[in-house]
Amino acid sequence: MERYSEVVGLPVICVNDGRKIGIVNEVIFCPRTKEVKAFLLERKGCQISSKVVLLKDVLNLGKDALVVSDCSCAVSVKKAKKIDDLNGKGEIKGLKIYTKSGEDLGIVKDVLFDYKTGTIEGVEISDGLLYDIVQGRNILPLFGKVEFGEDNILVDKEAVDEMISTGGGLKKKLLGE
């Protein structure tokens, strides 16, 4: 699984000539389908239109680079909208997460996804700075019935039962839990 925070800033490299065609500036998600659609590249100099690399054009996504077959994989956002459905794109980071029983779980701080399938697998949740320092963050797997809204995410109890601790936090380090 890949993390949004670790993908942003990676260089995009072409296999056929080894050229760097850009740097990943953002991962474009579609909350409606719960998928990664594309990778938005940073603008270069006076470049007028933004360029994206569609997920289907990615050969590999490693810890140090995103690899595509050739430079033609970087297309304008306008052209990409005609090829693929980028119109439903939305932000996931920063959304509040609630259970269907009304419990506030926190805010999405990172997104975990499988670049081979494009599926959003889970989110890393922050329950506030103090809680993050003391307890660490949790990872909430997104399976079962998950509803994405403009301002929040609604999850089933089953997803909450499967929440995983990231192992951080002072409490764990100091008490050896």
The closest of 168, 164, 66 to 122, measured between CA atoms, is: 164
For the segment 102-159, what is each residue's pLDDT rounded down to a tens digit? 988 889 999 999 999 999 998 988 876 555 555 667 888 887 778 888 889 998 877 7
CA atoms within 13 A on the CB side of 35: 15
When pLDDT is averaged across residues 46-72 and rounded to a whole number, the result is 89
Q: What is the average pLDDT value for the chain, to the nearest integer?
A: 83
pLDDT of 45 over the 80 cut: no
Confidence of residue 87 (pLDDT cuts 50, 70, 90): low
The CATH number assigned to the domain with range 96-175 reads 2.30.30.240
Residue 114 CA to residue 71 CA, distance in Å, equals 23
Whole-model pTM over 0.85? no
Confidence (pLDDT) at 12: 95
Could you name the CATH architecture of 2-83?
Answer: Roll (2.30)
Domain residue ranges in the chain:
2-83, 96-175
When pLDDT is averaged across residues 17-41 and rounded to a whole number, the result is 90
Q: What is the DSSP letter of 119?
A: B
Residue 9 CA to residue 164 CA, distance in Å, equals 26
Residue 17 CA to residue 29 CA, distance in Å, equals 29
Confidence (pLDDT) at 158: 76
Residue 34 CA to residue 141 CA, distance in Å, equals 12
pLDDT of 20 over the 80 cut: yes
Query: How far separated are the first and last CA of the chain, in Å rounded?
Result: 26
| Residues contacting residue 102 through CB under 8 Å, at least 6 positions apart | none
Confidence (pLDDT) at 115: 92
For the segment 94-104, what is each residue's pLDDT rounded down to a tens digit? 899 998 889 88
* b/e sequence 127-145, b meaning 16+ C-beta within 10 Å: beeeebeebbbbbbbbeee
